[in-house]
């Protein structure tokens, strides 16, 4: 078997894998990057980028439909899914081409094929064996389903939803997490009747309860139906429809059932178990510096327990490349990683929920700033709020440890929010900064002014 050697062999070319490859090459390492599908992985081809393109198309549809509210005589005559898909695929293609050029320019050896981890220092692809001074496992994740619920026909996941050539009249979305509410938002904007089914008591259950309440209120205004605290029991389909059964005895009929119950680690049949990698429920276990139990073997991204976010994998990839280069980078704080759900309205957060903060600090102080007091939010005609969570009781100094926002475009505010959390800023530190007027960013400043005890455009 032909054997090829490199400083670093990476199994998986998604966000974590390619980021690690690019940074490692930049630091002078020879790198082999193995990818069985397309460079860029799920995020670029089947996740973040194409779904956000759909969400932008949905925003344009809503703007056209609602133009008269601002004196613009626009109407929405329909959705051309062929056109939407062409736009979406064009965005992906341009980014894919750019990424391929980056990898080539860094002289990274890109190996196309189904790689298998066969030893602590080796990955096999077909008849070739790639031996690395270090090996990084970065095989990503897949769309989960539920036991007994087979994907096919009118039962689809996000993969199939991204390739649909029609706008369904009725859709049931199984799962009220990030993926579920994003697709529910798209379908509603495109004109479909949508019902979200979530077994847990609220939508976006991983977020602060404040965010869930505001999102649910917004979904009611948009006539997106949702059923929380109820379990799915089965689905039957024919050529024309699918019938979804719930534990409550209710049945929902739709054109499609979109299964959005989370993502699982893509580790089956990759050789991890056989090679002795410590795992739990399919996830690869690592320490805080991303080391597995095998010497010289590391893991990044969705296969490592924690937030399944492309930018987390990306950051881990950079961290690991610098770690292997001996730069001793600081350990990533998972709570300091920003989280954004791109439905309408958006949900954005960083740091701890109020409940988590109470568990860690005992007493906390919270403040909610309503976007009704923000000029740009009124111009955008969005409703929502910003919630701050401070460590320590009212009247005592303490850093802002949680920031939770709901409203149109609040994902664009998360940059400053993550600086506040990661740099242990107090409300007074942020209140002293000048925020441009009129922007939604100004609402962020106003919230901290209020928390610092000097509210301006809010009631104390």
Q: Please, what's the b/e burial string for 13-29 (b: 16 or more CB within 10 A of its CB; e: otherwise)?
A: bbbbbbbbbbbbbebeb
Strand order, beta sheet including 242-246: 232-237, 242-246, 251-254
C-alpha to C-alpha distance for 287 and 301, rounded to whole angstroms: 13
Spatial contact of 182 and 51, defined as CB atoms under 8 Å apart:
yes
Cα separation, 266 vs 283, in Å, equals 8
Contact 269, 262 (CB under 8 A): no
Report which of 270, 281, 279, 320 is spatially closest to residue 298, judged by C-alpha positions: 320
State how far the alpha carbon of 116 is from the alpha carbons of 244, 293, 441, in Å.
39, 18, 47
Phi, psi (5° rounding) for residue 243? -110, 120
Tell me the helices (H) and strands (E) count for the chain, helix number first: 14, 24
Tell me if 157 sits within 8 A of 151, measured CB to CB.
Answer: yes
Q: How far apart are CA 254 and CA 240, in angstroms?
A: 9
Please state, in angstroms and rounded to a whole number, the distance separating the CA atoms of residues 28 and 202: 48
CB 323 within 8 Å of CB 349: no
Q: Which three-class secondary structure state does DSSP give residue 215?
A: helix
Residue 420 CB-half CA count within 13 A:
32
Q: Are 258 and 161 in contact (CB under 8 A)?
A: yes
49 φ/ψ sector (left φ>0, alpha ψ -120 to 50, else beta): alpha
* In contact, 158 and 47? CB cutoff 8 Å: yes
- Give the pairing of strands 346-351 and 339-341: antiparallel
Give the separation between CA 58 and CA 84, rounded to whole angstroms.
10
Q: Which of 437, 448, 457, 459 is catalytic?
A: 437
437 part of the active site: yes
Active site residues: 437
């Amino acid at each position: 078997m032909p054997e090829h050697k490199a400083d670093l062999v990476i199994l998986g070319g998604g966000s974590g894998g390619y980021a690690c490859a690019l940074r490692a090459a930049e630091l002078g390492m020879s790198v082999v990057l193995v990818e069985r599908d397309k460079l860029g992985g799920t995020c670029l081809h089947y996740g973040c980028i194409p779904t956000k393109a759909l969400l932008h198309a949905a925003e344009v549809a809503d703007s056209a439909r609602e133009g008269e509210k601002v004196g613009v005589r626009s109407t929405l005559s329909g959705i051309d899914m062929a056109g939407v898909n062409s736009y979406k695929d064009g965005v992906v293609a341009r980014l894919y081409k750019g990424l391929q050029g980056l990898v080539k320019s860094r002289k990274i050896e890109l190996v196309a094929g189904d790689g298998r981890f066969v030893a602590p220092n080796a990955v096999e692809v077909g008849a070739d064996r790639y031996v690395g001074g270090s090996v990084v496992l970065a095989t990503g994740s897949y769309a989960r389903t539920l036991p007994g619920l087979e994907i096919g026909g009118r039962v689809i996941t996000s993969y199939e939803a991204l390739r649909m050539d029609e706008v369904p009249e009725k859709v049931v979305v199984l799962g009220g997490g990030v993926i579920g509410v994003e697709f529910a938002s798209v379908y509603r904007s495109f004109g479909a009747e949508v019902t979200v089914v979530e077994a847990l008591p609220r939508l976006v259950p991983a977020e602060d309860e404040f965010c869930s309440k505001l999102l649910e209120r917004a979904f009611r205004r948009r006539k997106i139906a949702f059923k929380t605290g109820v379990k799915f029991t089965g689905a039957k389909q024919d050529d024309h429809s699918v019938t979804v059964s719930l534990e409550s005895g209710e049945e929902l009929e739709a054109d499609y059932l979109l299964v959005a119950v989370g993502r699982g680690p893509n580790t089956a049949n990759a050789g991890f178990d056989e090679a002795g990698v410590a795992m739990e429920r399919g996830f690869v276990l690592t320490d805080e510096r991303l080391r597995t139990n095998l010497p010289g073997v590391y893991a990044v991204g969705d296969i490592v327990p924690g937030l399944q976010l492309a930018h987390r994998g990306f950051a881990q990839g950079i961290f690991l490349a610098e770690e292997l280069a001996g730069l001793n980078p600081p350990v990533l704080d998972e709570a300091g990683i920003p989280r954004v759900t791109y439905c309408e309205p958006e949900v954005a957060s960083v740091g701890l929920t109020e409940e988590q903060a109470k568990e860690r600090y005992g007493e906390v102080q919270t403040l909610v700033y309503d976007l009704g007091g923000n000029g740009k939010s009124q111009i955008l005609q969005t409703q929502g709020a910003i919630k701050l969570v401070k460590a320590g009781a009212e009247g005592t100094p303490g850093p802002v440890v949680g920031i939770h926002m709901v409203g149109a475009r609040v994902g664009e505010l998360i940059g400053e929010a993550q600086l506040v959390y990661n740099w242990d800023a107090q409300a007074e530190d942020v209140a002293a900064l000048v925020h441009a007027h009129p922007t939604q960013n100004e609402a962020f400043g106003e919230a901290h002014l209020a928390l610092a005890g000097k509210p301006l455009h809010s009631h104390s």
